[in-house]
Structure 1
Amino acid sequence: MRVAIVSESFLPQVNGVTNSVCRVLEHLADRGHQATVIAPCRAPGTYAGFPVHATPAFQPPFYRSFRVGLPSRRISTVLTDFKPDIIHLASPTVVGAAGVTAAVQLGVPAVAVFQTDLAGFARQYGVRGMDAMIWSWLRHIHTRAARTLAPSTATMAELVERRIPRLRLWGRGVDLDRFNPAHRSEQLRRELAPDGEVIVGYVGRLSPDKRVHLLTELAGLRGVRLVVVGDGPAAPALRRRLPDAVFCGLRTGEDLSRILASFDVFVHTGANETFCQAVQEALAAGVPVVAAAAGGPLDLVRPGHNGLLYPPESPALMREAVEHLVADPAARSRMSAQTRESVLASTWTALCERLVEHYESVLEGDESPSEAPDRLRPHQSLMS
């Protein structure tokens, strides 16, 4: 099969879109498929043996480390020359819009992977009143795709409400070797928390869309060492407001594996997560999770089993959930023993095989209606 991936983000940017595209490319290479990638500039020339074609991009003034792709005639040229069987649109917005236009012109079906809550992203950056316009644009893109893959039941329900057609559920995989309790390091724990504190950690972008300012709600918790992993435009302000926290900066590879597995509690502040890869990675590493009861975490966190959920509009209850786990080592231990089991079926191999099945189904002409989203868990059990 010949697969062209048109992505809004790619290396050297590290985020959920980039991660999933890399895993898909590795799987396609392993299975002997042919692929090409179109992504914003500064990307490497190849990945997994496949060519990567750069498109123009710009850096938003409020987020200099992020690059936004721009539409380009090069997208149509690359796709025409490659002659794909199917076009994979990774979180289509701007570059993806050009990709789906080219797909229609070439008569090639496109599978769109919905991955970013753009309306929620805009609100977190103070841009109000744009929801209708954003959803109109996204609907314009996704209605021209042969299939849209939603990462969670909450996101699928939202897409149904927004009249996005031909939906299927496709989650995200996790590397069970890289994220594993075996990487827990007592030496690292002594370095991070020399007085034996309970380590409460966050991993992710330090940016307004992740609501990282809510981490300040955890300041002053007795017996707790707050550890923050990541970088972004909110980092300087957060460092000033949390002088006692440990800021590790951006970490990857073995460093990230050791740090994450060495947490006692993982806390996530975002409320616009279509999936939330960081939560799944923490669970795979054996760490109980405290997350907002919204979006992807609703599928991942089972309150009282592998973590706790808090109402996204109540940061005080986030602090209360963390306090509950800090004060109850038996509950942490019990949950820790169950976190990894909850994600064992979510390997990237299984998820990518399912993705190829979606490709094949679309190529066979299956245009059946959307799957019905599963019922979401009731919020009354958040702290059970």
Structure 2
Amino acid sequence: MRVAIVAESFLPQVNGVTNSVCRVLDHLAAEGHEAMVVAPSRGPAGYAGFPVHATPAFRLPFYRSFRVGLPSRRITSRLADFKPDVVHLASPTVVGASGVAAAARLGVPAVAVFQTDLAGFARQYGLRGADPAIWAWLRHIHVRAARTLAPSTATMAELEAHGVPRLRLWGRGVDLDRFNPAHRDEGLRRELAPGGEVIVGYVGRLAADKRVHLLAELADLPGVRLVVVGDGPAAPGLRRRLPGAVFCGLRTGAELSRTLASFDVFVHTGANETYCQAVQEALAAGVPVVAAAAGGPLDLVRPGGNGLLYPPDSPALMREAVRRLVADPAARARMGEEARRSVLSRTWTSLCERLVEHYEAVLGEGEAAWTASAPDPSAAPAGA
């Protein structure tokens, strides 16, 4: 099968979209498929033996490390040259809109992978009135896809409520070797918490949309050492608010594996997660999770089993959930064991096999099945 992936971001940016695309490419290469990538990237010219084609992009003024792609006619020409059987749209927004239009012109089915809660993202940056326009634009893209894959049941329900058709559930895989309790490092633990404190950790982007300012609620918990892994525009302010925390910066590979497995409790502050890969990786590392009861974590965290959930708008209850786990080593140990067991079936191999089945399904349905309700590609979305 020939798969063209049109991604909203890719290497060298490290985020959930990039990680998913890389894992899919690894699987396609291992199974003997052909692939290509189009993305707003100044990164590698290839990945897993497949070409990567860059599109024009610009940097967000409030988030300089994040590049946003621009619409480009190059996407149609790249796809026409490659002659794909299916177009994979990774978190389609701007580049993805060009991708779905190109697929329609070429008569090729597009499978859209919904991954980013743009409306929630905009609200966290003060754009509270943007919801109608954002959802109109997203619907404009997704109604032209042969199938939209939602990462969680909560996200699937939201997409359905906003009129997105042909929905299927497709989660995310996790590397059970890379994220494993076996990587717990007592030497690193002594370095991070020399007083023997309970290590409460956060891993992720340090940005307003992740609500990282809520970590300040944990700053004065007795017997706790707060460890923050990641980088982003909120990092300087967060360092000032948390002078007693350990800031590790961005960690990847074996360094991230050791750090995450060495936590005692993982806390996630975001409330607009369509899936939340960071939570899943913590569970795989055998670390109980405290997360907001919203979006993807609702599918991942079993309260009292592998972690605890708190109402998204209650920082006080987030603090109380963390305090409960800090005060109960036996509960942490039990939940840590259950955390690992809860994700054992969520390997990238099994998830990517299901993805290829989705590709095959839309090819089997034929063009009439996915173009019947699709609008004119040149028409503007209502409400946008």
* Interval of TM-score (by shorter of Structure 1 and Structure 2): over 0.9
Q: Corresponding residue for 2:156?
A: 156
C-alpha separation in 2, matches of 1:45 and 1:150? 29
Question: Is this contact kept in 2: 1:178–1:257, CA < 8 A?
Answer: yes
Q: Corresponding residue for 2:38?
A: 38
Residues 53-109 of structure 1: per-residue CA shift (max 9 Å, x gap)? 000100011000100011111111100100000000000000000000001100000
Question: Is this contact kept in 1: 2:9–2:41, CA < 8 A?
Answer: no
C-alpha separation in 2, matches of 1:334 and 1:89? 40
C-alpha separation in 1, matches of 2:7 and 2:180? 29
Question: Is this contact kept in 1: 2:37–2:50, CA < 8 A?
Answer: yes
- The answer on 1:348 being equivalent to 2:360 is no
C-alpha separation in 1, matches of 2:261 and 2:149? 30
Q: Corresponding residue for 1:364?
A: 364
Residues 332-375 of structure 1: per-residue CA shift (max 9 Å, x gap)? 011011111000000000000000000000000179999xxxxx
Q: Corresponding residue for 2:174?
A: 174
Q: Give 1:126 shift.
A: 1.0
Question: Is this contact kept in 1: 2:11–2:43, CA < 8 A?
Answer: yes
Q: Give 1:223 shift.
A: 0.2
Provide structure 1 residue ranges, at least 5 long, that are not aligned to the other structure: 371-384
Q: Give the aligned length.
A: 370
C-alpha separation in 1, matches of 2:2 and 2:337? 42
C-alpha separation in 2, matches of 1:209 and 1:119? 11
- TM-score, scaled to structure 2: 0.95
What RMSD over aligned residues (CA atoms) do the two structures have, in Å? Answer: 1.2
Q: Corresponding residue for 2:64?
A: 64
For residue 71 of structure 1, what is the amino acid of its counterpart? P
Q: Corresponding residue for 2:380?
A: none
Question: Is this contact kept in 1: 2:11–2:41, CA < 8 A?
Answer: no
Q: Give 1:43 shift.
A: 2.3
Q: Give 1:41 shift.
A: 2.7
For residue 118 of structure 2, what is the amino acid of its counterpart? L
Question: Is this contact kept in 2: 1:166–1:368, CA < 8 A?
Answer: no
C-alpha separation in 2, matches of 1:368 and 1:248? 52
For residue 101 of structure 2, what is the amino acid of its counterpart? T
- The answer on 1:141 being equivalent to 2:141 is yes
Question: Is this contact kept in 1: 2:174–2:280, CA < 8 A?
Answer: yes
Residues 234-269 of structure 1: per-residue CA shift (max 9 Å, x gap)? 000000000000000000000000000000000000
Residues 214-244 of structure 1: per-residue CA shift (max 9 Å, x gap)? 0001011000000000000000000000000
Change in 2 beyond 3 A, CA 1:61/1:13: same
Question: Is this contact kept in 2: 1:307–1:335, CA < 8 A?
Answer: yes
- TM-score, scaled to structure 1: 0.95
Q: Give 1:128 shift.
A: 1.7
Q: Corresponding residue for 2:321?
A: 321
- Percent identity (aligned): 82
C-alpha separation in 2, matches of 1:39 and 1:45? 11
Question: Is this contact kept in 2: 1:166–1:369, CA < 8 A?
Answer: no
Provide structure 2 residue ranges, at least 5 long, that are not aligned to the other structure: 371-384
- The answer on 1:293 being equivalent to 2:293 is yes
**Runs of 4+ with >3 A deviation:** 366-370
Question: Is this contact kept in 1: 2:218–2:319, CA < 8 A?
Answer: yes
Q: Corresponding residue for 1:303?
A: 303
